[in-house]
Amino acid sequence: MNTVVGIDVSKGKSVVAAMRTFGEVALPPREFLHTNKGLSMLTESLRLIDGDTRVILEATGRYHEPVVMALQESGFFVSTVNPKLIKDFGNNSLRKVKTDKADAVKIARYGLEYWEEMREYTQTDTARQQLKLFSRQYNLHMKTVVSLQNNLISLLDSVFPGINELFKSPVREDGRQKWVDFVCTFYHRDCVSGVSAAAFSQRYYKWCKRKDYNFSTAKAAEIYTTSSEMVVTMPKNALIKTLITSAAGQLTAATATLATLKAEFIRLAATLPEYEVVRSMYGVGDVTGAQLMAEIGDVRRFQSRGALIAFAGVDPGVNESGKHSAQSVRTTKRGSPHLRKTLFQIISTHLKRSPLDEPVYQFLDRKRVEGKPYLVYMTAAANKFLRIYHAKVRDYLNTLESVDLNT
């Protein structure tokens, strides 16, 4: 007899219930802690259940991982499911009940209903797990850097407005930025315009030499002329110096951390076999390529390109009822928001550079010529890109696997 064990996972503990067909309760809802002892008790309790037993639980961030690992090591069939599917599964009741015990029973009922469709959970290899962690941390640190940068520019608007726009030097590999280093020393307009042009040029030359930046007489003259025309609302004093230098120091430290994280992120991505294939695709850079691989994982886990598109949430929705059939329906957006963000960056590169020989851009341009709105043709292009990604990367990995088997 088929038995499904539903597990409602939370931080540090899980509630477990087992159901058989026709609503028979094989194991009443019971709580188990996520400790060595608690997980051992869980596996021993499940071994006492007769019949063909499968375990199903929601994919809840990282909380479910120790449970899955313990059950798979004990030989159980374990399947994880998107929490959205459990939420939409029918309760068959007018009462609204939301408890861990009720959720565990609901998950078990879902498993019985979709017994044939349950897919066994496969552990992602360590490199891919680490890559996904790096991707999420990189995004978090990037948000911090943007926030600190906006804060520094906001402070400078009162004492040195627009100074950041005078420097076009790219961010260095160690995370340093010329304009940020500049305002650490010249924190106020009067630090520049308060002396003669020749005196500032000499100070700027010594500063460039000390900080290992290129010196240009024309740039020194431009900074001096522009600063002389600036209107400031805050005076030059020790308090302003403290505010500016501390904000600049925080930004420098954050960008240095981000640069270190970025280097390790790319290095780890390069160890995966499909890296060069992904990197060769138009619009994919070092970071976006690593992010694609981190969020998608092993592309062979998606049985079809449609499954990958649905995972990204860029598949078009359907709205039909009776004689009504909507011609324009929003995308589902039920997949990974991190993957959608990366796809948008890649498609934006296609849009800016307009590579006429690239199929993704050709498809995007065709939709644009047809008069489709911006978000429609951008989403359609992302859909097209994922189809190409799925075919190229899957075929490459399958070829590598067949070569390894033959040798």
| pLDDT confidence of residue 396 | 93
Residue 132: how many CA atoms within 13 Å on its side-chain side?
14
Find the Cα–Cα–Cα–Cα dihedral 42, 43, 47, 49, rounded to 10°.
30
Terminal-residue alpha carbon distance, the chain? 43
Q: Are 300 and 398 in contact (CB under 8 A)?
A: yes
| pLDDT confidence of residue 317 | 62
Give SS3 for 32: strand
163: left (phi over 0), alpha (psi -120 to 50) or beta: alpha
DSSP state of 163: G
Cα dist from 22 to 26, 86, 130, 324, 382, whole Å: 11, 19, 43, 38, 44
For 133, other C-beta atoms within 10 Å of its C-beta total: 14
User: Which stretches of the chain score pLDDT less than 70?
Assistant: 91-95, 97, 317-329, 405, 407
For 81, other C-beta atoms within 10 Å of its C-beta total: 20
Task: Find the angle CA(183)-CA(184)-CA(189) to the nearest 5 degrees.
Answer: 40
Give SS3 for 122: coil
Give SS3 for 106: helix
| pLDDT confidence of residue 327 | 59
> Which residues lie closer than 8 Å to 73 by C-beta, 6 or more apart?
none
For 392, other C-beta atoms within 10 Å of its C-beta total: 16
- Spell out the long-range contacts of 270-273 with Cβ–Cβ below 8 A and sequence spacing 24 or more: 271/127, 272/127, 272/128, 272/131, 273/396, 273/397, 273/400
| pLDDT confidence of residue 223 | 95
| pLDDT confidence of residue 326 | 55
- Taking Cα atoms as reference points, which of 385, 398, 383, 378 lies closest to residue 299? 398
- Taking Cα atoms as reference points, which of 286, 295, 14, 18 lies closest to residue 135? 295
Rounded distance between C-alpha atoms, residue 31 and residue 226, angstroms: 68
Take residue 404 and report the two structure tokens written for it. Answer: 């390894």
Take residue 129 and report the two structure tokens written for it. Answer: 């797990």
Rounded distance between C-alpha atoms, residue 226 and residue 164, angstroms: 12
Stretch (H or E) spanning 183: helix 178-185
- Taking Cα atoms as reference points, which of 145, 142, 143, 135 lies closest to residue 336? 135
Residue recorded with tokens 């097209």: 384
Residue 336: how many CA atoms within 13 Å on its side-chain side?
22
Backbone φ, ψ for residue 193 (5° rounding): -80, -10
pLDDT by residue (tens digit) across 291-329?
999 999 999 888 899 999 988 988 776 555 565 555 566
Q: What is the pTM of this model?
A: 0.80
| pLDDT confidence of residue 84 | 82
Give SS3 for 57: strand
Rounded distance between C-alpha atoms, residue 338 and residue 295, angstroms: 7
Rounded distance between C-alpha atoms, residue 158 and residue 183, angstroms: 13
Backbone φ, ψ for residue 316 (5° rounding): -70, 140
| pLDDT confidence of residue 160 | 95
- Taking Cα atoms as reference points, which of 366, 389, 365 lies closest to residue 274? 389
Stretch (H or E) spanning 127: helix 126-159
Q: Are 293 and 127 in contact (CB under 8 A)?
A: no
- Taking Cα atoms as reference points, which of 300, 201, 181, 307 lies closest to residue 249? 181
